[in-house]
Chain A
């Protein structure tokens, strides 16, 4: 045995002790060498409504003396952690760009949980069912159904009294009226606020349409014809991209088709579903016809249609305006300079439906967290944040009339954010009579049912039966007849129909 090759226990202990000691000393030196964190003084003056307001700052609450605080601030909320549930969309990406400013001014620390819309909605449903109040600020789809259903179920906090406490600079009257309606119940109680609003548009490949002398569709027949014309899967090009997985996305897209054919979801007077009305079947049939020319239809959900269009795999895309944003980004799109936009080509002339997402305050969270949630809600919808909506480095459809109509915000359709222009014009046109632009309000036609869970059940029945159209096993008429039967059963079971 060669003893000199063996390292004794004592030597090992010395070596280990040396390493550990070195780490401790090195770590201590590194910590001491860090530049000191500046801690502000006990008070900081913030310019707010009507004159200076003294804000008692903590180590995490500061504001520069020149910042205008045109949203709800309560200095006592400094240090509060605010849990936010948000969708994994471009809207959240844009909203988060302002968070440092919010945190600096208020001292509130937002913690974001971001996930896909379908998953987030399922999680929110469980959250509300359990009344756990984990997420004080919930990113609710405000298409006229989600916030309404959660409001009548008592899951969201009514905010009218809270908005009354906002500084006058917040200027609630400046908020576009259709967006207020979308986040209110029928009695005018407001349960949230929209961060953005938009509508559905048709994106198309200008280069292909011009090269082959194809007319940009202005109605559904032309849309189907164009999709068929450009359907060349063997050459890697499909006619169109559409949602097709059995979840909310095809439902919202289907909603546009029945709207575009003059259809309705139900007779509000009798509460009878109208799933098998001729207009609804016709609209569904158009969707089914288009689906034959759609790329990867049965698996297309959330961002997939835009991804395929941006990759040059389809000649057209129908989608929410904010979902189309990546198409114009040179880093994510090969067709950023080849894309044109056109109004949604419905069969019947209808005002554009405003679709939007925004925030509501969770009724089950603690009061301090609810107040912090409201502070962030008003910050994101404040004039100074919304005024940046149309700047090139941001980009979302703003929800304030002053921003929409400002002369510097009337973009050329050929500029980077030119695709916002038709959206902005449609929003102005959708203002209620007597306000700016005298067109009728085009809020979402999604059913506002008096029982909270029934709306979700309604949507689920539609997209479950619609999945059979996507699979090619049912026609539109078969799917809608089955939907009508299932909906009548549901409404009768829940006492909405006799």
Chain B
């Protein structure tokens, strides 16, 4: 049956929505990044001055490097833990079913609440974490006020909340592995490690990539944990780039043009990372 009319017109509502919600704000951000705009004073055209100021700012480089460190470390730790747990609980048993249900709970709590809760847990005066450390005779650091403890605190909170997300994805990937392939490897005398390395891992790698991509994007735009746990402290030692944009562009004084310039740079930076990951994924698939 031949379709009448142009089927591309059916895409129009979605395209209008994406244009209004995504492209227009981005285009407007590019426009205002060319202005020096300290609210509530009127904007003054400044050309590339905001970008010049950005690239000569120490805080720009430090928050960018903090973000790279944060994404790399958190992602590696989360992926390792998630894979290990997924392998442990993939078999069908009552305990594993219960564990899988329990794992979802941290993900269901709003991130803002999680950060507030952990801020109390890590409180150096009242917090239970230091209370138990004291009971064990261990040192009780100022978790949110000193480096590197502030980084440990941020990473622990993110792992607690979002590792289950990766666990669920990896579990789905493990369930998609044909059992007869694993059995065939067993019959051929392959060890557990060999089975995992040569049979299971290549088959789950594409799905791990997708899960990894989603986590990396989430980690790149992390904000609430820094805002509520450390406020970028100590000093500006835990500033992530998202916090840098907020602090410079909105908090305290509204330097909107500068904030917009920082956002555009971050968009390009994030885009480059995502494109790199996707290209790696396609290369991997082509090889497979």
Contact = CB atoms under 8 A, between A and B. Distances in A.
B69 interface: no
Nearest to A154: B40
A246 B39 contact: no
B36 interface: yes
A296 B41 contact: no
A474 B237 CA distance: 13
A297 B231 contact: no
A413 B167 CA distance: 63
Contact of A298 (B41, B234, B250): B234
Contacts of A126: 254
Given A246-B233, A453-B253, A456-B253, 16 more contacts: A122-B251, A128-B40, A129-B254, A296-B125, A298-B142, A451-B38, A453-B39, A453-B40, A454-B41, A457-B252, A457-B255, A459-B253, A468-B236, A471-B235, A471-B237, A494-B38
Interface in A256-314: 295-299, 301, 308, 313
Interface string B40-79: 1100000000000000000000000000000000000000
Interface string A238-259: 0000000111100000000000
B211 interface: no
A3 interface: no
A493 B36 contact: yes
B141 interface: no
Interface string A449-485: 0011110110110011001101111100000000000
B232 interface: yes
Interface in B243-259: 247, 250-255
Contacts of B235: 467-468, 470-471, 473-474
| Dominant secondary structure at the B interface | loop
B145 interface: yes
Interface in B1-47: 36, 38-41
A129 B252 contact: no
21 contacts: A122-B250, A125-B254, A128-B39, A155-B40, A236-B125, A245-B231, A247-B251, A247-B252, A298-B142, A299-B144, A313-B125, A453-B41, A454-B38, A454-B41, A464-B247, A467-B233, A467-B235, A468-B236, A471-B235, A473-B235, A493-B36
A471 B254 contact: no
Interface string B98-131: 0000000000000000000000000111000000
Nearest to A474: B235
Closest 8 CB pairs of A and B: A471-B235, A471-B234, A298-B145, A460-B252, A456-B253, A453-B38, A457-B253, A468-B235
Contact of A467 (B38, B236, B255): B236
Nearest to B250: A122
Interface residues of B, number: 26
B3 to A, nearest CB: 43
Contacts, number: 96
A494 B41 contact: yes
A295 B233 contact: no
A301 B253 CA distance: 18
A362 to B, nearest CB: 13
A68 interface: no
A473 B58 CA distance: 15
Contacts of A297: 145
A153 B42 CA distance: 10
Interface string B245-278: 0010011111100000000000000000000000
A296 B255 contact: no
A295 B125 contact: yes
Contacts of B142: 296, 298
Contacts of B125: 236, 295-296, 308, 313
B39 A129 contact: yes
A454 B38 CA distance: 8
A193 B137 CA distance: 55
A474 B236 CA distance: 12
Contacts of B231: 245-247, 299, 301
Given A468-B235, A470-B234, A471-B234, A459 B39 contact: no
Contacts of A464: 236, 247
